[in-house]
Amino acid sequence: MKRIKEISVAIQGIATCFHEVAAHTYFGKGIKTVECLSFHALCESLKKEETDFAVMAIENSIAGSILPNYFLLQEYHFSIVGELYVPIHMHLLALPGVELTDLTLIESHPMAIRQCSEFLHSLNNVTIVESEDTALSARHVMELQRKNVAAIANEFAAKKFGLQILKRRIETHKKNFTRFLVLTRKQPVAELGNKASLYFEVSHSIGSLADILTNFKKNQLNLTKIQSIPIIGRPQEYLFHVDVEWRDRSGFEKSIKQVSKHVGNLNVLGEYKKGKIEIN
């Protein structure tokens, strides 16, 4: 009997991080996750065919867009084959027996720190340190065995590294979620797709972007995201990343055909089924 190849998925972070949660949520438990300590390393893993897919965070409902990842999407030309929205619950983790007043240092990923800014600003005499990953920060607390150090991470990390949850749900807004993209090297045939991500540049003239957005409207496309990215070496000029949804794919096909005549550097990064937002 032929053995089915195990799917490998690149994640940014180590085991129990939110990227691993996203990977298992999308693909199920029967996958191999490959730990990458940076988004660049994640892209390199997929490019070098060390993994079949990659899961990449692209925006958070509190902290906003992860701008460097838009540059990576342009650089690597991967295909987006799916998306998912993962509820993000942030907890303050420390060694057992530690009190909040014992802390002088809290470590976590920059996006996690931004999501918990209101809580962190309420603390006195505590230094905030950025790290590569939330779960890695939790592991550091376990390894250091210092009662003055804590990490911001999830409940899975607390269990794995034997830490207590000193404070639960410290994110600034409780309806907090992160949007993740599922990437692959190949461009598959879209099945039941109703959303697409693309980018383009427009002429540096009055109304040029408005004309493109009006075209989307005429063809019954719902614009769900627009993000401008500076074009390096060309001051005051930008690429625009947009996400659009549709009920009838023919409207998307018609719009792309029309828009391509009026924009430069048009790239469709992928067509896929839009993810559901389920916040708890």
DSSP 102: G
What is the rounded distance in angstroms from the CA atom of residue 145 to the CA atom of residue 94?
9
Q: pLDDT digits over 81-108, tens only?
A: 999 999 999 999 999 999 999 999 999 9
Q: What is the pLDDT of residue 4?
A: 58
**What is the topology classification, in CATH, of domain 195-272?**
Alpha-Beta Plaits (3.30.70)
Q: What is the pLDDT of residue 5?
A: 73
Domain boundaries, the chain: 7-87+176-184, 91-167, 195-272
**What is the topology classification, in CATH, of domain 7-87+176-184?**
D-Maltodextrin-Binding Protein; domain 2 (3.40.190)
What is the C-alpha end-to-end distance of the chain, expressed in Å?
A: 43
How far CA 49 is from CA of 24, 29, 34, 178, in Å, comes to: 20, 21, 12, 26
Q: Which pTM does this prediction carry?
A: 0.93
Q: Which of 104, 109, 117 is nearest to 149 (CA)?
A: 104
22 and 86 in contact (C-beta within 8 Å)?
yes
Q: pLDDT digits over 234-248, tens only?
A: 888 889 999 999 999
Q: What is the pLDDT of residue 50?
A: 96
Residue 190 is encoded by which pair of tokens?
């879209």
Q: What are phi and psi of 48, to 5 degrees?
A: -80, 5
Element (H, E) at 156: helix 155-161
Q: pLDDT digits over 3-16, tens only?
A: 557 899 999 999 99
CATH number of 91-167: 3.40.190.10
- 91-167 matches 7-87+176-184 in CATH topology: yes
Residue in this structure with the two tokens 């007043």, named with its chain if needed: 101
Residue 154 predicted with pLDDT over 50: yes
* Residues, the chain: 280
